[in-house]
Amino acid sequence: MPKKKIKNKKKKNSIIIPNSYKVEKINYDKIRHETSVDQSDRLVPYNLRQSGSTKVEMLISTRVRKSPYWHLSMKAGCWRATVYNRIYHPRGYVKPEKGGAMVEYQAIKNHVTMWNVAVERQIRVKGPDAEKFTDYVITRDATKISTMRGRYVILCNYKGGVLNDPVLMRIADDEFWFSLSDSDIGLYLQGVNADKRFNVEIDEIDACPVQIQGPKAKALMNDLIGDQVNMDEIPFYGLAEAKVGGRSCVISQSGFSGESGYEIYLRNATLYAEDMWNAVLKAGKKHKLMVIAPAHHRRIQAGILSWGQDMDQEHNPFQCNLGYQVSLSGKGQWDKQSDYVGKESLEKMKQKIKNGEKPYKLQLVGLELDGGKPIEDYANDFWLISSEGGGKPVGYITSPWFHPEKKKNIAMGYVPFEGNLNNNGFPIGNFGKKYKVHLPKKYSNKPVNAVVVPIPFTESVNANTREVK
């Protein structure tokens, strides 16, 4: 009697883990640093060994801070985190078996989200020389920034390397807040003024932001703020004072997503975190608010750079498409007259580029990838790029992700600089040029085709000054 074929039935409680979360087997004996990528203009090159995910438990001590919102993030379901500005940084709320980061993507595209971004530490510069000091440490013209307005700015070292790219907020005539990317710029700013030549005090303050991002952000904010502030009158990067949950906050129309959005900076956050956070949750119920991790999938689409990932202190503004920040004022005039850190180096570099010289090796570009499984999670390595015909790598990917609307993977990455300039005279990629991208095996068993395209991949709701130009 023939045996009956038994159909494989999925267990009721079986977990299907998306491909992007599966752990790839790595032969660590075969891992070598890739030397064919020209990093000769860096003192400390990027480690281009393809070592995959970190399979160890990270031992983190009290040297890493818990923000005032950390316990609230845990309550909201945070299941993984990284370290940013020496603070725990939530990087996932929806678990892989529930759809992971792409569920969070749908929330920010269709409804409204709240992010714990207390890691954006606030460094306050206050005193009679606050404007003069701020103007000295940023490349843009601080004198053109009005009170209760913000700007996206960069700080460079004397060589022209990008030290940080904070959002700068002018709270008062004599008070600026630097809302930091990942680095110890607070210590740097104190060092710049070690001789006390500027009459200012420079300190970190207990003002911690959350971001409200998504198409329903304005509706939520109207319910949250009520008649305290007319949200229609706050321009992009405009600031306002308001109470949220009965506590004093600074509201900014800004964000890290390319969607409509706001940031709420809670004063005395250590004391009043719950009051503000819970007020947002309450107001957000009817708008389908979801607490999510910072939406890197959406910021990549918008061409918004992440310091430490897309650039660092060994990149100059021109090679990471931030040349428009050099000698640019807050209102668009060129040729900032006053001195600032890095001015001499940056002006020389700008002149070399104008003369057709190539003062650096690699240029940040946008890439659309043809082939490979959807990249739906963070990259663990700087994945390698070869020329169209294959062969030795010539560059590397910094920020990849799957673009649901384009139905293909996109990425920002560095390839050899070919001297192409935009209409404003700033370097850009060679649009249409083709490369091969070496994805991990879980995404593709062979290098996939890629083509250089303009950034942003998707336009922002607001013309975001964080976007590369």
| pLDDT tens per residue across all 469 residues of the chain | 554 444 444 444 444 555 656 667 889 999 999 999 999 999 999 999 999 988 888 888 899 999 999 999 999 999 999 999 999 999 999 999 999 999 999 999 999 999 999 999 999 999 999 999 999 999 999 999 999 999 999 999 999 999 999 999 999 999 999 999 998 899 999 999 999 999 999 999 999 999 999 999 999 999 999 999 999 999 999 999 999 999 999 999 999 999 999 999 999 999 999 999 999 999 999 999 999 999 999 999 999 999 999 999 999 999 999 999 998 776 666 678 899 999 999 999 999 999 999 999 999 999 999 999 999 999 999 999 999 999 999 999 999 999 999 999 999 999 999 999 998 889 999 999 999 999 999 999 999 999 999 999 999 998 766 666 5
Domain span including residue 258: 65-294
Cβ count near 370 (within 10 Å): 12
For position 211, which CATH number holds? Answer: 3.30.1360.120
CB-based contact 89:182 (threshold 8 Å): no
**Same domain for 275 and 260:** yes
**Same domain for 222 and 310:** no
C-alpha 273 chain-centroid distance: 24
When divided into structural domains, the chain yields a total of: 2
**Same domain for 227 and 116:** yes
Maximum pairwise Cα distance, the chain: 97
**Same domain for 285 and 165:** yes
DSSP assignment of 315-348 equals S-TTTTT-GGGTTBBTTS-B---S--TTHHHHHH
378 domain-assigned: yes
**Same domain for 227 and 127:** yes
Burial class of 82 by CB neighbour count within 10 A (0 to 12, 13 to 18, 19+): middle
**Same domain for 196 and 135:** yes
> CA-to-CA distance for 458 and 460, rounded, in angstroms?
6
**Same domain for 274 and 219:** yes
> CA-to-CA distance for 303 and 299, rounded, in angstroms?
6
Rounded to the nearest 10 degrees, how much is the dihedral formed by the CA atoms of 201, 205, 208, 211?
0
**Same domain for 311 and 280:** no
For tokens 């050899």, name the residue.
416
Alpha helices in 285-362 (DSSP H): 296-301, 343-354
C-alpha 174 chain-centroid distance: 28
**Same domain for 290 and 436:** no
Residues 6 or more apart in contact with residue 426 via CB below 8 angstroms: 318, 321, 323, 324, 353, 469
pLDDT of 6 reads 42
Crossing angle of helices 185-192 and 130-137, in 10° steps, is 110
175 domain-assigned: yes
> CA-to-CA distance for 383 and 403, rounded, in angstroms?
18
38 domain-assigned: no
**Same domain for 288 and 306:** no
The pTM assigned to this predicted structure is: 0.93
CB-based contact 457:366 (threshold 8 Å): yes
- The domain boundary, picked from 294, 317, 334, lies at 294
218 domain-assigned: yes
300: its two tokens:
């990549």
206 domain-assigned: yes
295: its two tokens:
């939406």
Q: Classify strands 434-438 and 87-92 as parallel, antiparallel or unpaired.
A: unpaired
Alpha-carbon dihedral sign for residues 362, 367, 373, 375: positive
51 domain-assigned: no
Residues 6 or more apart in contact with residue 351 via CB below 8 angstroms: none
**Same domain for 286 and 320:** no
- The domain boundary, picked from 275, 294, 313, lies at 294
> CA-to-CA distance for 371 and 355, rounded, in angstroms?
39
331 domain-assigned: no
For position 403, which CATH number holds? Answer: 2.40.30.110
> CA-to-CA distance for 256 and 167, rounded, in angstroms?
10
50 domain-assigned: no
**Same domain for 211 and 69:** yes
Q: Classify strands 167-172 and 289-291 as parallel, antiparallel or unpaired.
A: unpaired
